[in-house]
Structure 1
Amino acid sequence: MKVLIAEDQGMLRGALAQLLEMEEDVEIVGQTGNGQEALELVQQRNPDLIIADIEMPGMSGLEVAEQLQDADMPCKTVIVTTFARPGYLERAMKAGIAGYILKDEPINELIAHLRLIHNGGHFISPELASALYFSKTNPLTKREEEVLRQAFSGFETRQIASRLHLSHGTVRNYLSTAIQKMDAHSRQEAARKAEENGWI
């Protein structure tokens, strides 16, 4: 199977590539630490699988998975993460990921899961699945998520309005509703709570 690795920690990326290349049935066709580059490499090199970290510069692993799904690419996405945030898993499932695996799994188990996925199966680390099972559902609409994501990045209301091509009043309304839904006292608290749940 042809594998592309997208992981922004260079040492981890290199170690993973070396360990996987020791397997006779694995060929590493590319490595990157940037989500946007990962998407371009998938289009250029046609891997069977992409192993993607969630948090990367350029584009997150979840955004890469969503773009691949939208483009109807045959490449399967396997997310590797240290975060058991239910909102991330929920979003990953919607993006059609084939695997969602904790980074601290032993390498032989990871390889077994990759083979399973390559052969048409799916795998989610049990700890991540139970985090989703016992989690609250995301109460935010897509627009509220977008506005809170901008607020989390430190943008003011007028900047958010400009960036999302919305009116100042509309952004204020979205923020107000999101603050209520998150049972928060400020936009910063609402954005932090949403981020901790993996909803933005």
Structure 2
Amino acid sequence: MIKILLADDQALVRGALAALLDLEPDIEVVAQVGRGDLVVAAARESGAEVCLLDIEMPGADGIEAASRIRGELPGVRSLIVTTFGRPGYLRRALEAGASGFVVKDTPAGELADAVRAVHAGRRVVDPALATESLAGGSNPLSDREREILRAALAGDPIAEIARAVHLSQGTVRNYLSSAIAKTGSVNRVAAARAAEANGWL
């Protein structure tokens, strides 16, 4: 039996995935959590071999959870199962140590096959997303630009963004100008939204 952990902040989605996967003769759901920061402890306690991770969760997102799994439980595999099929998320997830990346509208049989493949040490990536990711190229933003754009998403004034990231207003303006140019946007809010839409944040 392949022991799996489900991590998704939506209980209904978690329950549906568990019900579908429990129908498979060789897969057993041994743990479920609704927060990313609970994944490692739950995987360790349950003996999970594959963790299915949503991206957007409280505590820690699925990409961060995948990174923690790789660092603390190197024998455990992680598979991102998300609504957000963005090329930037795919690239970041694989860099963080995830073994696979599929979207939630994947048919149940294909999801089970993805679990089996990941468990066997293979990498599984949604083909359409892989093509889009290759076509889109890598994330052009630096870590600092990403941090500042995350702060800019709410539309806060430069002074507030500067306070939040502990930089001068002039330095924040420089980073924003660079990020605006890299995203081909007209202002900082548009740049933040473009970066978010591409999964770069």
Same fold (TM over 0.5): yes
**Identity of counterpart residues, as a percentage?**
44
TM-score (norm 1): 0.89
Q: Determine the structure 2 residue equivalent to 1:150.
A: 151
Long gaps (5+) in structure 2 = none
Matches for 1:18-33 after TM superposition, within 5 Å: 18-33=19-34
Question: What one-letter code is carried by the residue in structure 2 that aligns with 1:99?
Answer: G
* Partners of 2:16 and 2:22 in 1: CA distance: 10
How many Å separate the matches in 1 of 2:177 and 2:72? Answer: 35
Compute the RMSD of aligned alpha carbons.
2.0
Instruction: Label 1:67 to 1:158 Cα distance change in 2 as closer, same or farther (>3 A).
Output: farther
Give the deviation of 1:58 after TM superposition: 2.3
**Contact 2:36-2:60 at 8 Å conserved across structures:** yes
In the alignment, the residues of structure 2 paired with residue 5 and residue 169 of structure 1 have an alpha-carbon distance, to the nearest angstrom, of: 44
Q: What SS class does the counterpart of residue 97 from structure 1 fall into?
A: coil
Q: How does 1:1-200 map to 2 (within 5 A)?
A: 1-71=2-72, 73-200=74-201
Classify 1:191/1:76 alpha carbon distance in 2 versus 1 (closer, same or farther; 3 Å).
same
SS in 2 for 1:23: coil
Letter in 1 for 2:80: I
CA distance change for structure 1 residues 165 and 179 in 2, over 3 Å: closer, same or farther?
Answer: same
Paired residues of 1:84 and 1:127 also in contact (CA < 8 A): no
Within 2, Cα distance between the matches of 1:159 and 1:68?
35
Kept in 1, the 8 Å contact 2:79–2:99? The answer is yes
- Which letter maps to 2:63? L
How far the C-alpha of 1:140 sits from its partner, in A, is 0.7
Q: Equivalent residue of 2:199, what SS?
A: coil
| Structure 1 CA distance for aligned equivalents of residues 3 and 168 of structure 2 | 47
SS in 1 for 2:136: coil
Please state how far the C-alpha of 1:70 moved relative to its aligned partner. 3.7
- How far apart are residue 146 of structure 1 and its match? 1.2
Distance change in 2, residues 1:152/1:50 (3 Å): same
Find the residue that maps to 1:176 and give its secondary structure. helix
Counterpart residue identity of residue 21, structure 2: L
**SS at the partner of 1:132?**
helix
Q: Secondary structure at the match of 1:134?
A: helix
